[in-house]
Structure 1
Amino acid sequence: MGSTLADQQLDALFTALSDRTRRDIVARLSRGEATVKELAEPYAMSLQAVSQHIRVLERCGLISQRRHRQTRPCRLEPAALDAALSWIEESRRVWSERMDRLETHLARLQEGEKQ
Structure 2
Amino acid sequence: MTMQQPSLATQDVHLMIRRAKVTIFTDVAETSTVLEVKKVIATILKIDPLDVHLVYNDQPMEDIKRLHECGISSKDARPQTPAQIALSIRNPDSNEFDKDDIIPYSSNTSDNTTQSSMIQQQDSR
- Same fold judged by TM-score > 0.5? no
With CA pairs under 8 Å and 6+ residues apart, which has the higher RCO, 1 or 2?
A: 2
Query: Structure 2 length normalisation: TM-score?
Result: 0.36
TM-score (norm. length: structure 1): 0.38
Structure with greater helix percent: 1
Q: Which structure shows the higher strand fraction? A: 2
